[in-house]
């Protein structure tokens, strides 16, 4: 089920981030990004919305007061830089409360809670089909072929995984890390952390138990997988 969303925040950068998070989450659809509660009111008068991400501390009409004015409000997730609003947020039956700065994994956790309100039964994970050179995944209601050699690393995100690819945008799919690990060739891919599987052929820099991709992304090697990864390095060390 796709949830239609409003993002409401008077801070342009915070609103931009929220829009980005909504757009990269497969089960969310952005209806409108609003810079005030008054703008959001106009949208709600025109069409139905399932979920609103509402900043609490806005001038004119605060997010909290805005929600209280609605007779039949959509599901609410509050965002704010001030933790003291948390209790009041839950009094108006908010699904969750996100404290700025908001990390995507926290956003996804809150959004998943909202989805469960509409769809209590946990959806079945998508099946991963693969061969020696490529695999097929379902992403955003499309079947997409991924060439195995183009995968830099796989990132686990609760019910979803994100495939980070060379020179392409990441793809997200409803899969478990275990199912991905079982399908990828073991001589090329290694799990180095509870949340990460890396393509060993893409590894070029390792620093202090972190694998560095593109000079920016640092993948931690956890204690559970450190020995196995070190054995791989030793076998290929000059």
**CATH 3.40.50.2300 applies to domain 3-118:** yes
**Tens of pLDDT, residues 142-165:** 888 999 999 999 999 878 899 999
**Tens of pLDDT, residues 211-225:** 999 888 899 999 999
Nearest to 113 by CA among 141, 87, 93: 93
Q: Residue 124 has what pLDDT?
A: 52
Q: Residue 72 has what pLDDT?
A: 86
Say what percent of the chain tops pLDDT 90.
61
Confidence at 19, pLDDT banded by 50, 70, 90: very high
Write the Ramachandran bin of 27: left for phi over 0, alpha for psi from -120 to 50, otherwise beta: alpha
Q: What residue spans define the domains of the chain?
A: 3-118, 129-235
Please tell me which residue, 1 or 107, carries the higher pLDDT value: 107
Give the span between the Cα atoms of 226 and 191, in whole angstroms: 10
- What is the chain's alpha carbon radius of gyration, rounded to the nearest angstrom? 21
For 74-83, what is the mean pLDDT?
Answer: 87
Residue 21 has pLDDT above 60, yes or no: yes
CA angle 192, 194, 199 (to 5 degrees): 35
Say what percent of the chain tops pLDDT 70.
90
**Tens of pLDDT, residues 93-121:** 788 889 899 999 999 999 999 998 886 55
CATH of 129-235 among 3.40.50.12160, 1.20.1050.10, 2.40.50.1020, 3.30.1050.10: 2.40.50.1020
Give the span between the Cα atoms of 135 and 80, in whole angstroms: 41
Residue 6 has pLDDT above 50, yes or no: yes
Q: Residue 89 has what pLDDT?
A: 46
Question: How far, CA to CA in Å, does 149 sit from each of 117, 153, 169, 214?
Answer: 39, 10, 15, 16
Instruction: Write down the residue that tokens 């690819």 correspond to.
Output: 165
Residue 127 has pLDDT above 80, yes or no: no
Decide if 142 contacts 155 (C-beta within 8 A): no
Average pLDDT along the chain: 88
Give the span between the Cα atoms of 129 and 137, in whole angstroms: 7
Q: Is the dihedral of CA 213, 107, 177, 195 positive or negative?
A: positive
For 71-89, what is the mean pLDDT?
Answer: 75
Q: Please tell me the pTM assigned to this model.
A: 0.54
Residue 14 has pLDDT above 80, yes or no: yes
Confidence at 203, pLDDT banded by 50, 70, 90: very high
Q: Do domains 3-118 and 129-235 have the same CATH topology?
A: no
**Please, what's the b/e burial string for 84-95 (b: 16 or more CB within 10 A of its CB; e: otherwise)?**
ebeeebeeeebb
């Amino acid at each position: 089920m796709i949830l239609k969303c409003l993002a409401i925040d008077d801070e342009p950068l915070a609103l931009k981030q929220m829009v980005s998070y909504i757009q990269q989450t497969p089960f969310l659809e952005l209806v409108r990004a609003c810079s005030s509660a008054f703008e959001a009111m106009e949208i709600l008068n025109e069409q139905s919305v399932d979920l609103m991400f509402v900043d609490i501390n806005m001038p004119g009409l605060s997010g909290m007061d805005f929600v209280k004015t609605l007779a039949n409000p959509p599901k609410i997730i509050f965002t704010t830089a001030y933790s003291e609003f948390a209790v009041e947020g839950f009094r108006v039956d908010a699904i969750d409360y996100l404290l700025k700065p908001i990390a995507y994994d926290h956003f996804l956790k809150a959004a998943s809670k909202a989805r469960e309100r509409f769809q209590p039964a946990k959806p079945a994970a998508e099946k991963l089909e693969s061969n020696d050179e490529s695999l097929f995944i379902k992403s955003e209601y499309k079947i997409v072929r991924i060439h195995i050699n183009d995968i830099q690393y796989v990132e686990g995100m609760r019910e979803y995984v994100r495939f980070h690819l060379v020179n392409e945008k990441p793809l997200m799919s409803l899969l478990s890390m275990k199912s991905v690990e079982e399908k990828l060739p073991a001589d090329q891919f290694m799990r180095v952390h509870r949340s990460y599987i890396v393509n060993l052929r893409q590894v070029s820099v390792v620093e202090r138990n972190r694998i560095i991709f593109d000079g920016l992304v640092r993948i931690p090697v956890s204690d559970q997988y450190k020995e196995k990864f070190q054995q791989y390095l030793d076998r290929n060390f000059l």
